[in-house]
Chains A and B, each alone.
Chain A
Amino acid sequence: QKEVEQDPGPLSVPEGAIVSLNCTYSNSAFQYFMWYRQYSRKGPELLMYTYSSGNKEDGRFTAQVDKSSKYISLFIRDSQPSDSATYLCAMRSSGSARQLTFGSGTQLTVLP
């Protein structure tokens, strides 16, 4: 079983829809949770960063972490065609020098 599970999709939604992307994990030591966006043939870019449980909002994006359920989510409001990309969740434990453990990514297409 993978440490981080992420539904690979693909997920297609109409423009303006609310998108929900999710990951589950098994390692209770994970403390830092991230969402990366990756356009085709490009490197991932950091979208959201959350420490421990709770919510964080940045414009149209909201990240939620529920450590008791070992479940994290990314919500995209008013989705745009430019949001079409692969979204990767990532997480690490405190003081981890090995860096991040990634989910396999969810491919999202927002249709105009």
Chain B
Amino acid sequence: DGGITQSPKYLFRKEGQNVTLSCEQNLNHDAMYWYRQDPGQGLRLIYYSQIVNDFQKGDIAEGYSVSREKKESFPLTVTSAQKNPTAFYLCASRGTGVNRVEAFFGQGTRLTVV
């Protein structure tokens, strides 16, 4: 089945640690996105990528990094510079051109600082 797979579902990070969240899609979508969701604040855009080897900062990119080496994959690293990383992280993809649809989301990764 086509879709977006995020892993792990739950992730625990110690203070000062970098962690990487995985996002893989087999929808052949060009564009991929990372959002952060906090209670009562909706979804906020962290990074997005429209094409392989290119990505752009969103509204809250500080303390995060991404890569887009393959069309199918868009991993997010939460660095130690992110002071308040505990949140629900959502990856999304979107087709462009004739495959254009609105954002299709993965099931999320819940990150907790311990």
Residues of A in contact with B (beta carbons under 8 Å apart): 4, 6, 8, 32, 34, 36, 41-46, 49, 88, 90, 97-100, 102-105
Judge whether A99 and B45 touch: CB under 8 Å.
yes
**Given A41-B110, A88-B42, A103-B42: A98 and B104 interface contact (C-beta under 8 Å):** no
Where chain B touches its partner, the secondary structure class is strand
**Given A97-B48, A97-B50, A99-B33: A46 and B103 interface contact (C-beta under 8 Å):** yes
Number of A-B contacts (CB under 8 A): 56
Chain B contacts with A in 44-97, Cβ cutoff 8 A: 44-45, 48, 50, 56, 58, 88, 90, 92, 94
A61, chain B: closest CB distance, angstroms: 15
* New contact pairs (17) apart from A97-B31, A105-B42, CB-CB < 8 Å: A4-B42, A6-B42, A41-B88, A41-B108, A42-B108, A43-B106, A43-B107, A49-B102, A88-B43, A97-B56, A98-B45, A98-B58, A99-B31, A99-B94, A100-B102, A102-B42, A102-B43
B2 touches A (CB below 8 Å): no
Q: Point out the residues of chain B lying under 8 angstroms from A100, CB to CB.
A: 43, 102-103
Q: Point out the residues of chain B lying under 8 angstroms from A99, CB to CB.
A: 31, 33, 45, 48, 92, 94, 103
**CB-nearest residue of chain B relative to A105?**
B42
A106, chain B: closest CB distance, angstroms: 11
Judge whether A44 and B110 touch: CB under 8 Å.
no
Judge whether B40 and A104 touch: CB under 8 Å.
yes
**Given A34-B102, A98-B58, A99-B48: A44 and B33 interface contact (C-beta under 8 Å):** no
